[in-house]
Chain A
């Protein structure tokens, strides 16, 4: 397989250059902060406590999210029901919510005066207390279960239907399916999913602090925030930024060590088939899992919508302008992210040191947006007015943050396409654009749609670096929403949150749907 490692298209060759550029844009700002700080300052004992807490909560959150995602992904892969496609899109919603909205939704359900405690009080039972490590993990699972589910689901969907037909004719039992299909596909997808979610959780800040219930739940990101904002200790901020890079590299190596490439071989790209040995027990379990996941992920969204929907008609004009600005920005970010991700993914897929290269993309979720933003500010400031460039810079950073999700979705699919179609294409002498168009791209459409949807929604919902650069009249919708919250206008802010949620979901659905046109799933 390694002999097909040579680049097959100019697009692929460009991948290397782009990957290098990405590293520069992520690490350049870190270097800029370091340079401006004129050296590192020592960490304090509290910083080490923050690093420890960050690692513990991120590891727990990643493990729980992924373990919970296994039955959900399996149920989605095995069941066909009316509205399944919409259900899958909706399940993705928590991942793309702005943090403050997600927290409010969760608290409306699990908080002290949330639905669950109100119900418990109604029947005279005790209270559940959300604040603490439990709350942090609960929130991170809420935010990341959708991503974990989708990443694992891709593994199930990648099984050629011919294989399942064969399994049926061989009268495979559930145990056999597990051994021959599920274990290998989990071995291929689980390490990557764990890694991505672990890294997302390491840069958590507001969620960890609010649901953690106090300063014991201090993360590295909060320590960086403090170093920048109150202490103006750039050396400490840079040190902590380097710690984040080290965590990313270590976690990446660990995941790489355990990752296995799936070896299901090729198929004719027919729609998936019903699984064999579909017992009543399996059907009941799958349904129960889907109902539970649906309730857990959708109730907080429902609560947020219920709070804010009444305020939508009264929203000020500036909110709608901000919404328009955000949609345009999200589309631009997505185009940029896809333009970066496709060549890099093709390069990685044909490369032996795959995980190492993919780590490049992961850096952008592991490194603090605050460090990247501040570093870019330091770089741009002597050359141009950072405020005038606030929207392009925000778009660029959002695209970079979305890159790893796109890569995660694209790389396995590109590798699988290369593995299943590569030999045939070789035999036919297909090279360059023709190979890309006929052999590879058609198999990337689904993950590309999914990844682009994530990128768009993420860019839409993320506050990003605009908060560092903004000028009046350039607000994005998330920033506008924070400003409404900050000016006592809670009702309007909740209305803006619903608009934001609807637009994010709409963009995600549009791209994701586009990737699945003509597909049975």
Chain B
């Protein structure tokens, strides 16, 4: 009986579509946790529908990488108007595949620690990758080299299946360049294991399988604000911290380009930005620090923000991956 519901629902939406043909639909493809009940999705939908006179619909797929391959699979027949949730390590591939069109906006009030001039994508939030540890940990390493020299155990994610895993790869590559292979060889005996995604790694860390886990400087904020637990910290590394910048852009085949542009504009307004910190647990991309919720001021502030341009990230990935694989396969 349950199986008939989608068909009935599809039938209803056809009827509804005919009756309210004047209500345009904006389809936003995003990753799972953005659209989930606890993510920003539901609140964003309410806030945008108040001003757009439209129906905002989310379609969720895995993580950022899954999102991109879904779009490439659908090609020009996609229903997507907006893709939201790629990071800068993936955007070059999206542009190269011809999926995106330029947004044509000049964003103001961006609060990223780096300048932004991508013609296809606008950032909606960002964070620093960092190794998260329990606050009572003794001798927290202060660099990759110190970590490699120590007995500290870490869990990381696989760069072949996870966006944070890829971020760590880029972090080491950006900070050490030609010495990246050497750093990975040094880290090999610190790595307890490699997980397919962020959730497994974070779960292993919480269960005490490792001293630290690759996550974000903002992760302790979740424990502090949502769980009222100040028992977590993020290690500050002297090399600086690689950034993950999460972006959205307009899909080339959209049938509602004006509405899509309106959404991107809305995305950088306080109504959207204020939802981000305590739902996505990242830094909003266009909100001053004093507008962040209480607790965010306690987070680790990296000395330097590291990031590759989208083109450089795409260019170094292959080699960085084989260095990583060789060093950790010993």
Count, A-B residue pairs, CB within 8 A: 170
Give min CB distance, B25 to chain A, whole Å: 13
Q: Are B6 and A388 in contact (CB-based, < 8 A)?
A: yes
- A residues in contact with B146, CB < 8 Å: none
For A487, what are the chain B residues with a Cβ–Cβ distance below 8 Å? Answer: 33, 36, 38-39
Among B65, B196, B210, the residue within 8 A (CB) of A209 is B196
A502 at the interface (CB under 8 A from B): no
Interface string of A32-66 (1 = CB under 8 A from B): 00001000000000100000000000000000000
Q: CB within 8 Å of B: which of A480-521?
A: 482-483, 485-490, 493
A216 touches B207 (CB 8 A): no
Per the CB 8 Å criterion, the residue count for chain B at the interface is 68
Is there a chain A Cβ closer than 8 Å to B69's Cβ? Answer: yes
Assess whether A113 is in contact with B9, with CB atoms less than 8 Å apart. Answer: no
**Which residues on B sit within 8 Å (CB–CB) of A214?**
188, 191, 193-194, 328-329
Chain A residues, CB < 8 A from B281: 488
Give the interface size class of chain A: 35 or more
For A112, what are the chain B residues with a Cβ–Cβ distance below 8 Å? 153, 192, 208-210
On whether the beta carbons of B328 and A215 are closer than 8 Å, the reply is: yes
Q: Is the interface of A mostly helix, strand, loop or mixed?
A: helix
Whether A225 touches B161, Cβ cut-off 8 Å, given contacts A215-B324, A486-B33, is yes
Find out whether the CB atom of A131 lies under 8 angstroms from the CB atom of B192.
yes
Q: Which chain A residues lie closer than 8 Å to B70 at the CB level?
A: 468
Is residue A230 contacting chain B, with contact meaning CB distance below 8 A?
yes
Quick check: is A337 within 8 A (CB to CB) of the other chain?
no
B122 at the interface (CB under 8 A from A): no
Question: Which residues in chain A, 188-233, are within 8 Å of chain B measured between CB atoms?
Answer: 205-206, 209-216, 222, 225-226, 228-230, 232
Report B173-214 residues with CB < 8 Å from chain A CB.
188, 191-200, 202-204, 206-210
User: CA separation between A103 and B188, bound complex, in Å?
Assistant: 22
B10 close to A (CB within 8 Å): yes
Q: Are B329 and A113 in contact (CB under 8 A)?
A: no
Stretch from B55-63, B108-116, B302-310 forming part of the interface with A: B55-63
Contact call A210/B195, Cβ cutoff below 8 A: yes
Docked CA distance A482–B63 (Å): 12
Q: Known: A328-B2, A392-B3. Is A113-B207 also a contact (CB below 8 A)? A: yes
A-facing residues in B56-99 (Cβ within 8 Å)? 58-62, 65-66, 68-70, 72-74, 77, 79, 93, 97
Q: A46-B325, A488-B281 are in contact. Are A229 and B66 (CB under 8 A)?
A: yes
The reply to whether A472 and B58 form a contact with Cβ atoms under 8 Å apart is: yes
**Which residues does chain B contribute within 8 Å of A100, judged by CB atoms?**
199-200, 203
Task: State the CA gap A329–B2 with chains docked (Å).
Answer: 8
Contact B6 A222 (CB under 8 A): no
Instruction: Report the bound CA distance from A107 to B210 in whole Å.
Output: 12
Chain B interface mostly helix, strand, loop or mixed? helix
A205 touches B325 (CB 8 A): no
The contact string, 1 if C-beta is below 8 Å from chain B, for chain A 381-410, is 110010111111001000000000000000
Instruction: Provide the bound-state CA to CA distance between A467 and B61, in Å.
Output: 7
Q: Is B125 an interface residue (CB 8 A)?
A: no
A108 within 8 A of B: yes
Distance between Cα atoms of A275 and B220 in the complex (Å): 62
A232-B69 contact given A381-B77, A490-B206, CB 8 Å threshold: yes
Contact of B161 among A226, A325, A390, A391 (CB under 8 A): A226
Q: Which residues of A172-199 have CB atoms within 8 Å of chain B's CB atoms?
A: none
Which residues of B lie under 8 Å from residue A483 when comparing CB positions? 32-33, 36, 38
Instruction: Assess whether B3 is in contact with A113, with CB atoms less than 8 Å apart.
Output: no
- B159 CB to nearest chain A CB (Å): 8
- Cα of A104 to Cα of B200 in the assembled complex, Å: 9
In the bound complex, CA of A215 to CA of B33 (Å) = 26
Judged by a CB distance under 8 angstroms, whether B239 is at the interface is no
A332, CB-defined interface residue at 8 Å: yes
- Does B226 sit at the interface, judged by CB under 8 A? yes
Contacts of B188 in A (CB 8 A): 214
Q: Which residues of A contact B38 (CB under 8 A)?
A: 483, 487, 489
11 contacts between A and B (CB under 8 A): A103-B200, A112-B208, A232-B72, A316-B37, A381-B73, A388-B9, A391-B3, A467-B32, A471-B58, A485-B199, A485-B202
B: residues with CB less than 8 A from A are 1-3, 5-7, 9-10, 32-33, 35-39, 41, 58-62, 65-66, 68-70, 72-74, 77, 79, 93, 97, 153, 158, 160-161, 166, 188, 191-200, 202-204, 206-210, 219, 222-223, 226, 281, 322, 324-325, 328-330
Excluding A214-B191, A489-B38, 4 further A-B contacts by CB distance (< 8 Å) are A382-B77, A468-B61, A470-B32, A488-B281
Q: Ordered nearest first, which 10 A-B pairs have the shortest CB separation? A: A113-B208, A485-B199, A226-B160, A216-B329, A328-B2, A229-B65, A214-B328, A388-B6, A487-B38, A488-B222
